[in-house]
Chain A
Amino acid sequence: MKGNYVGQPLPRIDAREKVTGEARYPQDLNMEGQLYMKLRFAERPHARVLSIETAEALAVPGVVAVFTAADVPVNEYGLQYPDQPVLCGPGSDRPGADIVRFVGDQIAAVVAETEAAAEEGVKRLKITFEDLPVIDDPREALEPEAPHLHPPHAPIAIHPELVFEGNLVSRHRIRRGDVEAAFAQADVIVEADYEIPGQEHAYLQPEAGLAFLDEEGRVAVLAGGQWAHEERHQVAHALGLPEEQVRILYSTIGGAFGGREDISVQIVLALAAWKLKRPVKIVWSREESIFGHHKRHRAFVHAKWAATKDGRLIAAETKVIADAGAYVYTTNKVMGNLLLTVNGPYRIPNVKTDVLAAYTNNIPGGAFRGFGAPQGNFIAETQVNKLAEALGMDPVEFRLRNLVHGGDPMPWGRPLPDDARGIEETLIKAAEAIGWKRSEQGWIAPPGGGEGSKRRGFGIAAGFKNVGFSFGYQENAWAAIELHGEAEIEEAIVYAASAEVGQGTRTVIRQMAAEALAVPIEKVRLEAMDTAITGSSGSVSASRMTFMIGNAIRGAAAAALEKWRAEERPARAEYVYLAPKTTPIDPQTGYGDPNFSYGYVAIAAEVETDLVSGEVHVRRIVCANDVGQAINPRLVSGQIEGGVVQAVGWATTEHFIQKGGRPLTTTYSTYLIPTVADIPDEVEVIIVENEEPNGPWGARGMGEMPFIPVAPAIHHALRQATGRWFDAFPFNAERILRGLRKA
């Protein structure tokens, strides 16, 4: 539902400060008397730390302190499960905390009067290691003879999927119908092995932060994250402090994409500031950022799907083994989403899905835009494109015959919570925009072609993903509104703990508040990103924030207006929005009602390749995305263009390579994100608006959607261009040429 502000393409409120350089990122912030921290990272994938000698480091002029495992009150942390030591080494009472399990594990923090002294101090640390065998492949990690990388972890009731059986971190499954019986009746079966690569977030701003004691004696950490209140919880836990003693503030943040969901610098900074009673600052280099934070999960897949001659999908059997890396991070939740997306938005009566994630000595796998859906979607959409081809049926036609409609059960036994019209609508709009035609005989794909050694092809993929936290978690978001003035509202202050990571949340919050209060937007001021003055609005992830905070703002605005009418001055109201309930899924069958809302998206791609070099160029991407109601269409377009480009990078130029637990791509000359010369010539944005019944003004989440079906659509286009399927990506020139040479 459009309004005075909702649905309007307002310029983002932080545009000016960002382009003029006024915006202050954590690197830019300094305090009087601050100290500098440098970390000693493990730099080896698996080893026991036998000893740490700090004397020489402490003797460096300017070095004030060296912190090691022995100094951390509760030496463990983790967003889903506290399986990672804050500092690895001897002297900790946690079992296994003397072991480094990946190159980015932190061993010691050196704090000094200058950055140079801290750096020198790190070099002077004398550490002895006993190297341990390295596991760098999750399939190997699950072999019975593989050494266990962690001491036994106790399962916890709220995360039944976290099984901790040897190196097996999490297990998800769906059991529905009888796939074997279906295979016996199938007319076509498509069976394949896929290998899906990891990905680096490559945000502009590497990790940095400043910790200090605030005027109330709390330890405060000013950094960039995605969920301030969760960080407060983790910092307090590790420092053994009550949460009230800890405060998290966010400055301007240079991108996140899921990469800031887990702790990086926050705990060590807080520890040092708390113990030294002085401000402490840290700035990571790009290399430290790349090996120091998690990556998109790499996954190995076997899939066997079946259909009948009349174009009905009848069975899907899929097994995924994903690389969790050294610690859990959000692996179990990412795998949950992979599970829900890996069978596509289709009616499939017989489903057998197994999704396993295993510990290795690689950099941990974790949250990254799409959160398991890009991997799941690549498998589902590639299988569907292959089945359509095997049936001699157009892939759009084949999808239309199998898409769920309102009321059809998904593989987890329940229908999508709305009528899910957006799936079909986005598919048709994307397909038509790139050249698919409807005819009497059905859908017809645009013809490929090309001149000289160049060949063009077209591809299509459909996708969906949940919005918000789910699987039984009571999703919630807090907001408060304070109305100042006498006869008229002169100022409306919105309090919300929504991290601005570049997506535009500060702008849409003001739009939604102005709409809800019916005041001019100029009167709305936003106070965000400080746990001292806000409740928890949850994480900026899972495409959830606009949906959740919008509903919280609506509640707070209604309550504040009521108080205003009752002459309260200022009129202040707080509101916690609780999303519709979800349930966990059954660990054996996958049955349940795991989500309250979904977003729908389709991608059509036109790709060109050179048959003599294998070079790939994505000419055009059409993204049709059902966003319910675009609160700000300009920001929605920005999210779509950005998401598409990021996914084109994952599919073509990027390649995060680790060998023997060592990352080989820790610089931007080896890890290649697309430049302006590599992005599609054109990204066409089609905003579809089927209102979400529970969304604020009908909005549904969208931040992740445009990323999700890009890779399979490019794969499909390459099939038409080359006559080959590649089943692994990135689709770089060498892979394409190798595929072409294969008989």
Chain B
Amino acid sequence: MRPFDYYKPKDFQEAIALLSQEGKKTFPVAGATDLIPMARDERWLPDIVVDIKALPGLRELKLIDEGLYVGAAMTMNEIAASPLVKSTWDVLAQGASSVGHNQVRNRATVGGNIATSSPAADTPPSLLVLEAIVVVRGPEGERRIPITEFFLGPRRNALKKGEIIVGLILPTPPEGAVGSYHRISRRHGADLAIVGVAVLAYPKAEGFGWRVALGAVAPTPIRVPQAEATLSAAPGKPDEAVISQAIQEAVAASRPIDDIRATAKYRREMIATLMRKAIEDVLEKL
């Protein structure tokens, strides 16, 4: 592992200044669960590492007018165990509790999970169906990025040099909303998802509104609008024909690859299996 300079600033000004230095490879770091394995293999060669865990607001989890604010440095275990999260945003708790194993979840943060922008990450599908807003601060001040615009490709996202994810705003979903996250991996303990599916549904004037997001089956985590529209168009609870059609549409919207974990073919089948399970879960709770 190559040596680097490590800072743990207490204010944004200093942090952003450190991260903005030209000509240097600078990185924020939170739980370091993604970064340390990369540093060890020298796939990550930073000059300057800025620990963001002491910055104001990054370790907060609180209700705000728009919904729930989750500081970027909140860990997976903190999120998964939070009564606030579980009350209304439970699908995120389900995603967070699927990550790795207990030791990893004690360190892994939600900010790090989205900043890594792995297509297979476990919180993005839930964040997508919750329509989260990513709050970012950088050299040009604060900006808000809808989660749907955050992911640009495998390990690529909308963050610019010097920018830090401060937290996430999870808007309060429509009254009565329930969600479910299902994932499959080759091993039960500590293995990346082969496929992850998040489903959220809520009662509306006629029938229900549906949101569906997929992980690990495209270059980024994705929403599947056509499948959502099909489900949402059903007059009441969607019947088998509607569910099957929506599943087919979700599968068609995916672009899975063959890799060492699974073939694309299996991934497509698992979209169907997991989406059906998630829909059944949600229907039971609606």
Contact = CB atoms under 8 A, between A and B. Distances in A.
Given A674-B187, A678-B187, A657 B273 contact: no
Interface stretch (B4-12, B58-66, B138-146, B259-267): B259-267
B214 to A, nearest CB: 16
Interface residues of A, number: 21
Interface in A708-743: 732-734, 737-738
User: Of A672, A678, A734, which is in contact with the most chain B CB atoms at under 10 Å from its CB?
Assistant: A734
A653 B187 contact: yes
B266 A675 contact: no
Contacts of B266: 733-734, 737-738
A669 B259 CA distance: 13
B184 A653 contact: no
Interface in A631-686: 653, 657, 664-665, 669-670, 672, 674-678
B186 interface: yes
A4 interface: no
A181 interface: no
Contacts of A676: 189
B270 interface: yes
A459 to B, nearest CB: 21
A677 B270 contact: no
B273 A733 contact: no
Contacts of B54: none
Given A613-B184, A676-B189, A665 B260 contact: yes
A664 B261 CA distance: 11
A615 B183 CA distance: 12
B190 interface: yes
B178 interface: no
B188 A675 contact: yes
Interface string B248-286: 000000000000101100100110011011000000000
A248 B282 CA distance: 64
A733 B260 contact: no
Contacts of B47: none
A204 to B, nearest CB: 16
Nearest to B269: A737
A672 B191 contact: yes
Contact of A613 (B187, B189, B263, B273): B273
Interface string A603-628: 00000000011010100000000000
Nearest to B191: A672
Given A613-B273, A669-B192, A737-B269, A657 B186 contact: no
B184 A664 contact: no
A529 B272 CA distance: 57
Interface string A4-32: 00000000000000000000000000000
Which 10 pairs from chain A and chain B are nearest by CB?
A675-B189, A677-B189, A677-B188, A734-B266, A672-B187, A612-B273, A653-B187, A678-B188, A613-B273, A678-B187
14 contacts: A612-B273, A612-B277, A653-B186, A657-B260, A665-B260, A669-B192, A672-B187, A672-B191, A675-B189, A677-B189, A678-B188, A733-B266, A734-B263, A737-B269
Given A672-B186, A675-B190, A734-B266, 13 more contacts: A615-B184, A617-B188, A653-B186, A653-B187, A664-B260, A669-B192, A670-B260, A672-B191, A675-B188, A677-B188, A677-B189, A733-B184, A733-B186
